[in-house]
Amino acid sequence: MTYALYYHDYCPFCQRVLMALPSFSVEVEKRNVMQNSAYRKQQQEATGRTTVPCLLIDDGETQEWMYESGDIIRYLKSL
């Protein structure tokens, strides 16, 4: 399973998730959608949205995209 967080620096909801990352037991790749437009495009094509934060959960076969900072934190904490 791999995890990637789509975020940007000026989003307070993203900062909430970013600050919590070190406390989780899994590694989460950080994907800044403002520094890399390919990330934004990928998210938009997959979900129809560009809202951040968004967590991509990939098990190698299927991809799940999770929105809402509170849900993302709760999910990562539960792993």
**Binding flag, residue 75, ligand GSH (CB under 6 A):** no
CB of 65 to ligand GSH, least distance (A): 12
Q: Pick between residue 48 and residue 60 the one whose CB is nearest to ligand GSH.
A: 48
List, in order, residues 6 or more apart from 72 with CB less than 8 Å away.
5, 17, 53, 54, 55, 66
**What x-and-dash track marks residues 33-52 binding ligand GSH by CB under 6 A?**
-----------------xxx
Burial of 5 (0-12, 13-18, 19+ CB in 10 A): buried
CB of 62 to ligand GSH, least distance (A): 22
